Chains A and B, each alone.
Chain A
Amino acid sequence: MASTPAAPGSSRGGARAALRQAGSGALTFWRVLRANPLTMVGFIVVAMIGITAVLVIVAPHVLTPYGPDQLTTDYNQGPSWHHPAGTDGNGIDIYSETLYALPLDLAIAFAIAGAAMLGGGVLGLIAGFWDRPGTIGGAVSIVILRITDIFLAFPSLILALAIAVSLGRGVWQLIVAILITWWPFYVRLVRGETLAVKHLPYVMAARAAGVTERRIVLRHILRNVLEPVVVYFTLDIGTVLVTLSTIGFVGLGLAYPSQAEWGSMMSYYQNAGLITAAPWTVLGPGVAIFVTVLAFSLLGDGLRDILDPRSRRVLAGTGTGAIAAAAPSESASGGAGPAPAAAAEVSSPA
């Protein structure tokens, strides 16, 4: 397997050690946010979205002037003070309806990405840690990897659509359809990270000290694999939301007037021909998806940058040729050496 390059930054033991030195978790996170204004913007918007979602559930009337499916006597009105995103032909306030869809959309996205992270993560950990050929573990990991490869061949949206048509409409059907296509990415990610970490000296030291395998996996490997996985998860929420709403748009998601979900809302109004007559009906939920996904992407993309030792070097202003020359440790064979322990100062960008 000489020629497949790994995902950016598959080895970062040294960087991680540096991160740990930089301070405790929260402090590091704060420094990471401060290093790039866009990451900060992403974090603030994500926090606001979270607060909004909680408020919609706990105290709906604080933010939404109208109840779910409440019919007003204002039909097909453009945006105004009374209806910030206009109304549809039945007098439903688009702004309120869009906000009511927020908790459900977020919950589905978190459920899918979370379950994929857990399931795929466990499989990836197994495939990465017990991979010696000729053992039972080696055989199991080969089976896991082959199946993962086949799943990775499908564009996830297309397979999810095909499953959704077979399962029918509904929240659980939607979750299952997307989840089936979603876990393989985490297998690949966690396996790569595990391979990179497990040959590091501290794991060998733990082995030599007689620590049990189970404890090595849970304490030493898992904890160090967690960071990139959580970053990927942040980015993934946005991708799941887009996929989710696309399924809704195709008409295989939730049935809109009874259950508000952004993609289904857009599909409903688009099919009713309102995109030209009353564009706000489609643009309201559209903007909601866009802003939510953009916020999670800004946050996740920024965090990923900090984890990627290559861009860390440049951002921290310590880019020297000697360090960067160690880059070929990127080869996918899994024998990735420790990343250069450069740039402890995440907090001091150039």
Chain B
Amino acid sequence: MGRSPTDLAIFIGKRLVQLVPVLLGIIVLTFVFTHLSVANCSIWYPHASASTLANCQAQFSKPILVQFWTYFVNLLHGNWGASVTGVQVYPAIADGLPATLELVFASLFLMIVIGIPLGVVAAQFAGRWGDHLVRIFYLTGWATPTYLGAVIAAIFLAPYFGLPSHGEYTYTPPPFHQWTHMSLLDALLAGNLPWAADALRHLILPAAVLAFINMGIATRMTRSSMLEVIPLDFVKSARMKGLSEFFVMYKHALRNSLITTTTVLGVTAGGLLAGTVVIEEVFGWPGIGAYAFTAIGGGGAAPNFDGAVAVVAVFAVGVVIANLIADILYGILDPRVEWR
């Protein structure tokens, strides 16, 4: 029990092992909950061909345990299933995942560079107007339904700021190889600056909306942990040394409260990922959020159950991994935590 590299390895290893039952549970639950109702092929797929309907009947008329076993064995063989019309699930998700990650990371970046300083401001002016203004700002984001924010941004803000509101690039496909399938990163890797600028302009609005809606947690947690740190002696002595208030707040106090704020990563992962479902659909972003929207029958599409199970499970795994990273990061940053 200590803080040697071996302890860290065991600490991380243990948490990875703990993941296995959680993953299993996620797949079971997702499967069960998406197959709760009796098969209703003619209602789900009103315009489907006879062969598709027969396909659907054959798949959904079996007992749920048999259905699950078939699905699970296929999954272990690397087959993620297909829609009733025969479109494979895995390639679609593998294609979309990087775009979604790009969007989520861009929002996370905005949340960190805007949300955390706002939390510092709120703590500095606790109980006064600065605090109130910050609170109104983050609760406004909190209270904005994702789709309302996305639709307003896409239809009213985009023309106003002259920003594009659909897709990753103005023209597709781009004239370079897409190594990572993250629009901005690919353009930078290809050294193509005009395309990188184009990608950035496309990224701004969806990422900003996603960040604005999820900002509250980061701001609130920063504020709360700053309030804990500000009265401590080391902050007082920094003030007494005659350091500027800015230096005291951002260099000394914030640095210590950031340890608590790392947990923001885990807490917001769910909100950020869930937000992509609607935001990608509105902004035509080619990620797994938009895929999830279609797979669950959003906007009147025919539901794709294999796709829904897979994409919901992928989102859940994303949350679990984000929490794992936050957990490990916290263990590394806080010297009081023993790795065990």
Contact = CB atoms under 8 A, between A and B. Distances in A.
Residue of A36, A163, A168, A266 most packed against chain B (CB within 10 A): A163
B148 A286 contact: yes
Given A153-B319, A246-B278, A310-B224, A290 B337 contact: no
B273 A301 contact: no
A270 B21 contact: no
Given A3-B327, A297-B143, 13 more contacts: A155-B270, A155-B273, A156-B274, A163-B36, A242-B145, A266-B147, A276-B155, A294-B139, A294-B140, A297-B142, A311-B224, A313-B231, A325-B232
Contacts of A4: 263, 327, 330
A219 interface: no
Contact of A308 (B132, B224, B339): B224
B61 interface: no
Contact of A238 (B35, B142, B271, B297): B142
Nearest to B262: A5
A350 B148 CA distance: 38
Contacts of A3: 327-328, 330-331, 334, 337
A124 B309 CA distance: 28
B308 to A, nearest CB: 5
B189 interface: no
Interface of B: 21-22, 25-26, 29-30, 33-37, 40, 123, 126-127, 132, 135-136, 139-140, 142-148, 151, 155, 220-221, 223-224, 227-228, 230-233, 236, 260, 263, 269-271, 273-274, 277-278, 292-293, 296-300, 303, 308-309, 312, 315-317, 319-320, 323, 327-328, 330-331, 334, 336-340
Interface string A229-249: 000000000100010011001
A349 to B, nearest CB: 5
A294 B138 CA distance: 10
Interface stretch (A83-91, A111-119, A194-202, A314-322): A314-322
A150 interface: yes
Given A165-B303, A293-B142, A301-B135, A151 B126 contact: no
B139 A271 contact: no
A-B CB proximity, top 3 nearest: A150-B25, A155-B274, A294-B143
A250 B29 contact: no
Contacts of B269: 155
B236 to A, nearest CB: 7
Contacts of B312: 154, 158-159, 162
Contacts of A270: 151
A161 interface: yes
A311 B231 contact: no
A278 interface: no
Contacts of B26: 150, 153-154
A289 interface: yes
Contacts of B135: 38, 298, 301
Contacts of A102: none
Contacts of A246: 145-147, 278
A275 interface: yes
B37 A168 contact: yes
B297 A251 contact: yes
Nearest to A297: B139
B296 A162 contact: yes
Contact of B36 (A161, A167, A286): A167
A266 to B, nearest CB: 7
